Each structure stands twice: as C-alpha cells, then as structure tokens.
A and B are shown apart, each in its own frame.
Chain A
Amino acid sequence: MATTKTSKHTSLYEFHRTHGKMVEFAGYDMPIWYTSTMEEHMAVRNRAGIFDVSHMGRVDVTGPDAAGFIENLFPTGIGKQPNGKSVYTLLLNEDAGIVDDLIVLKVEEGKYLLVVNAASKEKDLRHMERVGAGLNFKVDDITEATTMIAVQGPSAVEALQPLTPLPLAEMKRFTHAFSTVKGIRSVITRTGYTGEDGFEIIVHDAASGAMAVWEALMKGATPCALGARDSLRLEAGLPLYGSDMDEATNPLEADLAWVLSKDKRSYVGWQRLSSLMEQGPARVRRGIVMDERIPRHGFKVTDKAGEDIGVVTSGTFSPVLKRGIAMGYVKTPSPQLGDAVKVVVRDAPSDGKIAKMPFYDDSVYGWKRKPHQQ
C-alpha cells in the first residue's frame, strides 16, 4: 500500500490526501475511499456522487487525415455518427485482441477526443502511431492540462446544473457538448461507468479552477473514490480493462459484439474477426450471483457437477443485492441465465447462478429506472 515517489498527482490531490485513504493506481496517487465504499456506492445509486477520474487518458486527434484514420482504427463506424456523439468502442490489434476500451467524442468530422484507460494510454498511443503511419493527423495528449470529474447518479442533473449554462436535462445519453463549468471552458459528456445516469466533465485550466469545481459539486453530490467506482461498475456489468479483458480477449468473448458496426468491413482486426464470427467464441463473459460467499479475481468456475468451465475475472460484494457477484469467462456452449454453477472459493465449491448484467433490477436502479422510484 506504500506509495512510490514517482506517482503523479491530479489537480484534486490535496483534497484526496486530506480526506481519503490513498493508494497508487495506474501511476497516480488516488483515493480508494473517503468515508466508506458502501456509503459512497449507495450515494451514487440513490442520489449523486462525484469521482476524480483525471488519471484517465484524454487525447485529441485532429488533422486532414484524422477522419480516415479514425475509421480504420475502430470497429464502430464513427464517420456516420452526428457531431456531438460520444461513442463507446474498442481498439483492436490485427488478431482482434482488445488493446483498450474507450469513449470517442466525435466533436466534428476530422476532430475527435478519445478518453482511454490510464494504464493503457502509452500503449494506445504507440498502437495509433503504428496504425496511422504515413497519414497526416495530429495526436495531442491533453491529460495533464485538464481535470476530469464524473458526476453520477439519479440526481446528477441537479448536482451539475447550477455550475453550467448548458441545459443538461435536454442532453441525450452518449452525447457531449462544449460549454463552461463555473466559468471554465469544459467538455460535458453524458456518459459514465456506474450504470447510472450522469456526466463526465473535462475541465480545462486544470491547475487553477478544478478544486473550485469539485467543491461546488460537493453541494449536490458525495465525493466517491476508486473502491466505489469498482463496485458500481461491476454491479452494472461493465467490464474493466486489464481485469475482464486484455489483448488475449476478442470482442465476441467479451460479449461486446454490439460495438462492431455490422456494415463495416475495413478496420484493424476485421479479417480475424470475420473468421471468429463464423467459428463463434470458445468462451464468453458472463455474470454470476452467489448464494453466499464473495467471488474474487482468479477463482475457478465449475458446472454443478464440479467440472471446470471457467474463471472469475472480477468479483465483489454487491451493496444493492447484498450478495457476492462476479463476472468471468465460461466455455461455450455456456450455461444459460439462471443455471446453477459453482465458484471455488478457497477450496470450497460455493453455489451461484448465471445472472443477467446489470446485476440489479434496472427498473429500480440505473439510468433506465422509472422516475420517482428508489
């Protein structure tokens, strides 16, 4: 748990250091919790929470060849999207292995902002350089010059609206707009990593204005740290790059085939993907809910007879379900929803079931919830 001297600090570090329990994460000193992961988690499910996600990589891609480059880079058609869309997609290698998952903000044709995983950023930049060799475009890493804050939960609009003239309630999910937050030039995107409605704001002039934005947001939202970020995304069924997928995982296995545009035939990884689509995946990412016990990364999954069928890649205790939940990979043909499986918890085969993701009832929690219901 000791932090290394070389760890980087976000512009909100002083707040984290004085209010939170700190850990080293992807090269940054970050808070793992402020008060309690459980309280922070439920604040997001019931009201609103704010997260410093400045460690995530933010990269501008512009230039005469940028549109063609982006089209070749991603399995999702970005060109056909209207300006102002925020698109979840994947970076793939030639073998269709997942290099990273990310959000691409299509500002306009030829101008994009990519939000990538902190630990993958350098790798992503090298990958982009290789794929784009010979093309005329520019990549600007704006990570250090900006602060990124996620505002998440059913009250996210109410928490953020006092700080910006942008009419937030009118924004559609997975769109973005340029505006100001507390008078500072910002990008606001209606996206997140919790399963809830909410926004991610990229605030320019990071050093001077970020703390004032954070403190103003605290009037309507609870500060939340990495522990809650992980339990929230897992409860929502959202995979974590590096744990639930990596370059040895393809999108069909990761249950992310929905990001592949059906009409696209020409991008990095397509050839391999097209043959994989004919074969079908040998294993697939699934959710598991436990009767008792808490599944953890690396635990084996067996069928009810005890035969090995896979492995847990993320596991935690779900604050909403009050049970252990996991996602992991099981071999195909995979068990169906509701089928009994076992997770081997420290030598003890423990009962669970294949479950839908998100794990919670999405009419009660998450962005699809019915209004005025808790």
Chain B
Amino acid sequence: MSNPSPYKVPDGLFYTKEHEWARVTGGTARVGITDYAAKTLNDIVYLTLPAVGKEVKQLASFGTVESIKAVSELYAPLSGTVVGTNQELTNHPELINQSPYDAGWIIELKHSMLDAERKTLLSPSQYEEFLKSLDAEHQN
C-alpha cells in the first residue's frame, strides 16, 4: 500500500508500540499520546494523571485516558520522575484530540536512563511502519 498514512508522525520524537511519544529537551522529556491513539480513542473526556514527584518506569502505566466509550492505560516511554503535568487537560481533555503533539502533551519527566532506553523506542519511520502493519492486520 503506497497510501500516505492518515496519521501525523512528527520528526524528532521517540515512539512506543503503545502509541505514546516522548520529546526530549535536555534533561527532561514531554510525553503524550500519538495522533493515531487520539483518533482511535475518539473524544477524550477524562484523564487520571500522576502526582508531581512520582517515579515512573519505562513501559509501566502512569495514568489513564478515557473516551466516552473506553479506558486506556498510559505507558511511560522513559523512566524518570514526573516534574509536571498538563493542567489545561483537566478542563480541556479534548486538547489531546485537537493537538496530540503540542497543546495536548500529558506529563513532563526528568528522565533517568535515557541512553539505555532510547534504543528501545521507535523512530518516526519505524513507528510509521508499525502503524502500517496494524492497518494491514485490520484489512484482513
């Protein structure tokens, strides 16, 4: 299939197969869910977020995101300490649908094992390939 992916996958981010992204800036990383995840969940209406100061482990659940229909776990792309959460989301969870990579960021981490863990994450092109493989499964 040579169709372009209908989902945005910006450069410069790390991705997980659970559809989270991480944008590393110096010692911290912002974390959110991908355009694919936001579009698949549809209408995000509620989040549970960790307290600032909480330690999170790579690929462990750090919270939940809920649509009208369902609940999904949020998995940390990197280990570290939560240094901030996006307060705007409390009253405007739909920011995640509108702007999953910018205004809809979810938490900020002080990462603790970036060098070891970045190798286990997907590059933008690897994540695009992964999305295509999911799409192919659904066509069968």
Contact = CB atoms under 8 A, between A and B. Distances in A.
A243 interface: no
Contacts of A3: 138
B140 A2 contact: yes
B69 A37 contact: yes
A346 B66 contact: no
B81 interface: no
B137 A317 contact: no
B68 interface: yes
Contacts of A319: 68
B46 A231 contact: no
B64 A231 contact: no
Most chain A C-beta atoms within 10 Å of own C-beta, residue among B45, B64, B138: B45
Interface in A86-118: none
A37 B42 contact: yes
Given A36-B43, A227-B42, A294 B66 contact: yes
Interface string B62-90: 00101111010000000000000000000
B69 A346 contact: no
Interface string A54-95: 000000000000000000000000000000000000000000
Interface string B115-140: 00000000000000000000001101
Given A36-B43, A38-B43, A2 B138 contact: yes
Q: How large is the interface on A (under 10, 10 to 19, 20 to 34, 35 or more residues)?
A: 20 to 34
B42 to A, nearest CB: 6
Interface residues of B, number: 15
A38 B68 contact: yes
Contacts of A33: 42-43
A294 B69 contact: no
A324 B66 CA distance: 11
Contact of A21 (B42, B46, B97, B140): B42
A37 B140 contact: no
B71 A296 contact: yes
Contacts of A296: 71
A277 interface: no
A66 B130 CA distance: 58
A37 B97 CA distance: 13
Contact of B45 (A21, A317, A346): A317
Given A1-B138, A2-B137, A2-B138, A316 B68 contact: yes
Interface in B21-72: 42-43, 45-46, 48, 64, 66-69, 71
Contact of B69 (A2, A32, A293, A324): A32
B43 A316 contact: no
B71 A317 contact: no
A294 B42 contact: no
Contacts of A346: 64, 71
A303 interface: no
A32 B66 CA distance: 16
Interface string A4-43: 0000000000000000010000000000110011100100
Contacts of B67: 37, 317
Contacts of B71: 294, 296, 346
Nearest to B97: A36
B42 A317 contact: no
Contacts of A1: 138
Contacts of A293: 46, 48
A36 B44 CA distance: 10
A2 to B, nearest CB: 6
A3 B43 CA distance: 22
A296 B70 CA distance: 8
Interface string A289-318: 000011010000000000000000000110
A200 interface: no
17 contacts: A1-B138, A2-B138, A2-B140, A32-B69, A33-B42, A33-B43, A36-B42, A37-B42, A37-B67, A227-B68, A231-B69, A293-B46, A317-B46, A317-B66, A317-B68, A319-B68, A346-B64
Q: Which 5 interchain pairs have the tightest Cβ spacing?
A: A317-B45, A38-B43, A37-B68, A317-B68, A37-B43
Interface of B: 42-43, 45-46, 48, 64, 66-69, 71, 97, 137-138, 140
